[in-house]
Amino acid sequence: MSTSAISGSTSYVQQILASAVQTAANPASASASPTDSTKLSPFAQLVSALQQLQQSDPTQYTQATQKIAANLQSAAQTAQSQGNSAAATQLTQLASDFTAASQTGQLPNLQDLAKATGAGGHHHHHHAEESSSSTTDSTTNPQTIIANTLSAASGVQTGA
């Protein structure tokens, strides 16, 4: 794979996500408005909100992703103090992803985001050790932290 193919993959992924968001919003019509978030999964709503902010106001996107990173890092410290090292590790990784997003103007690592918000998709079975590391506390739930921070920073409602 050439480096130009790799550098172009980010916009390709964004196109796929935008298409998936539209299809999820209205499966009967792939031309549905991506702002129709009433039927989107919480993960798709977060990605859609991030994309909208990234495209409409890059400065505000930078500020929002910085704030999300700070809030995720704080939640990681909370999780660690509660003895939940798995959640702390996941939250720290997400904080790092959002820090990078704030510096580059790109979306955060969507694989990490999907995993943290439970939208991984390919994990259909649960093991006891996985459930013990789930983040159900709202102070350490990455989806809640990201959605609330986005809403406060930009006024974008994610429904999460």
% of the chain with per-residue pLDDT over 90: 51
- 144 closest CA partner among 68, 34, 57, 70: 68
Q: Note whether 93 and 112 are within 8 A (CB).
A: yes
φ, ψ of residue 70 to 5 degrees: the values are -65, -45
Whole-number Å distance between alpha carbons of 147 and 145: 6
Residue 57 confidence class, pLDDT cut points 50, 70, 90: very high
* Residue 114 near residue 146 (C-beta atoms within 8 A): no
Residue whose pair of structure tokens reads 């390919």 in the numeric block? 122
Tell me the per-residue pLDDT of 5-56, one tens digit each, with 9 for 90 and over: 444 444 444 444 444 444 444 444 444 454 554 678 889 999 999 999 999 9
| Whether the predicted pLDDT of 92 surpasses 90 | yes
Contact 119, 6 (CB under 8 A): no
Nearest to 153 by CA among 48, 65, 37: 65
> Which burial class, exposed, middle or buried, applies to 125 when counting CB atoms under 10 A from its CB (0-12, 13-18, 19+)?
exposed
Q: What is the mean pLDDT of residues 49-72?
A: 96
Question: 159 pLDDT band (50/70/90 cuts)?
Answer: low
The helix, strand and coil proportions of the chain, stated in percent and rounded to the nearest 5, come to 70, 0, 30
What pLDDT shows up at residue 137?
Answer: 74
- What residues contact 38, with CB distance under 8 A and at least 6 apart? 25, 159
Residue 153 in contact with residue 63, Cβ under 8 Å?
yes
Tell me the three-class secondary structure of 53-83, residue by residue: HHHHCHHHHHHHHHHHHHHHHHHHHHHHHCC
